[in-house]
Amino acid sequence: MRDVVLDASVVLKWFRGEGEPNVDAARTLRTAYEEGELRVLAPLLLYLEILNVAGRRWRLADDALLALPEALERFSFEIVEPPLEHVARWIARGLTAYDAAYVAVAETTGVKLVSDDRVILELAPEVAEPLAA
């Protein structure tokens, strides 16, 4: 089994792919996860970001938005909260606090972060790898 940290730029593509790059690569990771070949680590922030996008960008209807937390919890990702000093160090290097949380989880667990976020990939190449090559 392979361990990865995933950020919202990847997991959001598991739900909607219209107009998004690298959807096939993201869905390949989802298949690997569902088949038990992949263990996903992430900060709790991942769920908050997905809910925010679903409500604000996708404008999901109330009933669909209210059902989303249960669907997210069924994924059973391993939630890892990063030490704040690690988050602060990545913020100092130019990341937002949100992106820094994912990078800090990868750094503190020694597990690669898979991301489709250009800024993360530029500022944290030692812990992040691109979703698609």
- Per-domain boundaries in the chain: 2-130
81-130 pLDDT tens trace: 999 999 999 999 999 999 999 999 999 999 999 999 999 999 999 999 99
CA gap 22, 24 in Å, rounded: 5
Mean pLDDT, residues 2-6 taken together? 98
Position 133 scores a pLDDT of 75
Q: How far apart are CA 126 and CA 58, in angstroms?
A: 33
Average pLDDT over residues 18-45: 95
Quote the percentage of the chain above a pLDDT of 90.
Answer: 93
What's the pLDDT at 44?
96
CATH: 3.40.50.1010, 2.30.130.40, 3.40.630.10, 3.40.50.300. Which one for 2-130? 3.40.50.1010
pTM, full prediction: 0.94
Tell me, what's the pLDDT at 17? 81
pLDDT of residue 20: 87
Indicate whether 40 pLDDT > 90.
Answer: yes
pLDDT at 117: 98
For residue 45, the Cα-to-chain-centroid distance in whole angstroms is 9
How confident is the model at residue 18, as a pLDDT? 82
**Partners of residue 5 on adjacent β-strands:** 41, 113
CA angle 7, 8, 11 (to 5 degrees): 95
Q: Is the pLDDT of residue 8 over 80?
A: yes
The structure tokens listed for 96 are: 């937002």
